[in-house]
Amino acid sequence: MKTLKNLFLIATVISIFSCSTVDDNRTIDPGQGENPITGNELNGNITTDSKLLASVEYTITGSLTVKSGATLTIEPGTVIKARSGRTDVFLAVERGAKLIAKGTAAKPIRFTSDATSPKAGDWGGIVIAGKASSNKGTDVQSEVAGLLYGGTVNDDDSGELSYIIAEYTGAKINGEQEFNGISFFGVGSKTIVNNIVVSDGNDDGVEFFGGTVNVNNVYCANIGDDMFDWTEGYSGTITNAFGVRNDGFDTASNDPRGLEGDSNSADITALPISKPTLKNVTILNLNPDVALTGGAEIRRGTEATIDNILFAAYGTASFGNRIDTADGNGNGILTITNAFAQGNVGNDKIGGAITGTVTTITDGITVPSNNTITTKTGVGADLSAFAWANRTFVVTK
């Protein structure tokens, strides 16, 4: 059996005394030696190789951008708070720059809100741009942070993200633009991404805009919109993905989903077509008051292959549709194997082809009184991979 216990920590209120002045256009002075940034306050541009130290309690107070040619390294165990209540607080990595954020299971790197009572949407999120292909072009501007992305270097390297927690993300810019927890714009396959957690986000958890980056062990908890999202010709592999909505997390868009996959809504024939592969996935709703609109929305020209997925609604929680491949801007195509469903997860809405069937099971998932989740061995994600994140599940009804 596979179990996971998670604790949603309330951010400790820490007074940060800045060692620098506020100037959103300034260039950060990284210091000497190994180029440590020792000032508490982070904003502006990083133009030379620099390092954030676990011994310093940082606060991002504006846009923080790693410029092309520079590398930002973050030590294991570093906590980076974000000034809450502003839409211009985020970490961006330009095309041609690198972020080396290698935490460990014992010392993850945490991005969080500085609010006394943190909530979804307190700050932006992490935005990374690369040189891999997008079906929108080779010099596309990201919908947030204003980064150029795209190109022909599908094995581009934007660095590494390992054992990362990003929480309270998703600041809303306007009616059409919101930050995701982590956004990958044209990020290439040499970029290493594994063991990441996005929690309490106002928009999507993790979204891929084109690119070829592969992701292992990704966990999205309490996400206002879609847990996992791709578009613009994304063709990487996502392995061991777990998405859950807790009872009591009521932040929600009009159509929150587990998976939402697009290719190009303006031209579904635009190349490259989104063709991701997903392996070992669990989409779980524990909240009886907020239904997931769908488990997997595969639409607008995307093709997807999913092997070993569990759609589960615990107790009186529910989904609208289990799988939906129909859309007015173009249908999707889904190939599934080893697909399972438990609880009230709705029916499939077929527009494009669905190859494979979903098996209904009755012993797929339980939530014992100690707030661990136990799943049937071999079904969906391996939750034990996320034990390091130390989270607790909420079931009250």
DSSP 27: B
Q: Which helix (H) or strand (E) holds 18?
A: none
- Is residue 396 one of the residues assigned to a domain? no
Nearest C-alpha neighbor of 192 from the set 163, 225, 220, 150: 163
Give the per-residue pLDDT at 4: 56
For residue 393, name the pLDDT band (cuts at 50, 70, 90). Answer: confident
Question: Mean of the per-residue pLDDT values for the chain?
Answer: 91
- Is residue 394 one of the residues assigned to a domain? no
> Quick one: average pLDDT of 296-302?
98
**Number of H-type helices and E-type strands within the chain:** 0, 30
The string of DSSP letters for 108-164 reads: -EEEEE--SS--TTSS--EEEE-SS--TT-SSEEPTTTT-EE--S-TT---EEEEEE
Give the per-residue pLDDT at 173: 82
3-state secondary structure 271-323: CCCCCCEEEEEEEEECCCCCCEEEEEEEECCCEEEEEEEEEEECCCCEEEEEE
- Is residue 397 one of the residues assigned to a domain? no
Q: Please state the domain count of the chain.
A: 1
Give the per-residue pLDDT at 395: 79
Q: Which helix (H) or strand (E) holds 286?
A: none
> Quick one: average pLDDT of 306-332?
96
Model pTM? 0.92
For residue 18, name the pLDDT band (cuts at 50, 70, 90). Answer: very low
The runs of H, that is alpha helices, within 263-306 are none
What tens digit of pLDDT does each residue of 368-379 get?
776 788 888 899
Torsion angle defined by CA atoms of residues 370, 310, 292 and 395, in that order, rounded to the nearest 10 degrees: -10
Cβ partners under 8 Å of residue 108, min gap 6: 76, 77, 163, 164, 165, 195, 197, 388, 389
What tens digit of pLDDT does each residue of 196-207 get?
999 999 999 999
For CA atoms 116, 93, 221, 378, the dihedral sign is negative
State the Cα angle at 333 between 328 and 334, rounded to 5°: 130
Token pair of 41, please? Answer: 């306050």
- Is residue 367 one of the residues assigned to a domain? yes
Inform me whether the pLDDT recorded for 216 exceeds 90: yes
Give the per-residue pLDDT at 211: 98
Give the per-residue pLDDT at 172: 87
What tens digit of pLDDT does each residue of 33-46 get?
468 999 999 999 99
> Quick one: average pLDDT of 341-349?
95
Q: Beta 71-74 vs 358-360: how paired, if at all?
A: unpaired
C-beta separation of 66 from 97 below 8 A: yes
Inform me whether the pLDDT recorded for 307 exceeds 50: yes
> Quick one: average pLDDT of 103-113?
98
Which one has a higher pLDDT value, 132 or 33? Answer: 132
Most confident range (mean pLDDT) of 6-15, 18-27, 123-132 is 123-132
Give the per-residue pLDDT at 28: 56
What tens digit of pLDDT does each residue of 91-105 get?
999 999 999 999 999
In the chain, pLDDT over 90 holds for what percent of residues?
Answer: 82
Give the per-residue pLDDT at 109: 98
DSSP 394: -
Give the per-residue pLDDT at 169: 98
Domain that holds residue 383: 2-389
- Is residue 110 one of the residues assigned to a domain? yes
- Is residue 33 one of the residues assigned to a domain? yes
- Is residue 227 one of the residues assigned to a domain? yes
Tell me the one-letter amino acid at 161.
Answer: L
Give the per-residue pLDDT at 295: 98
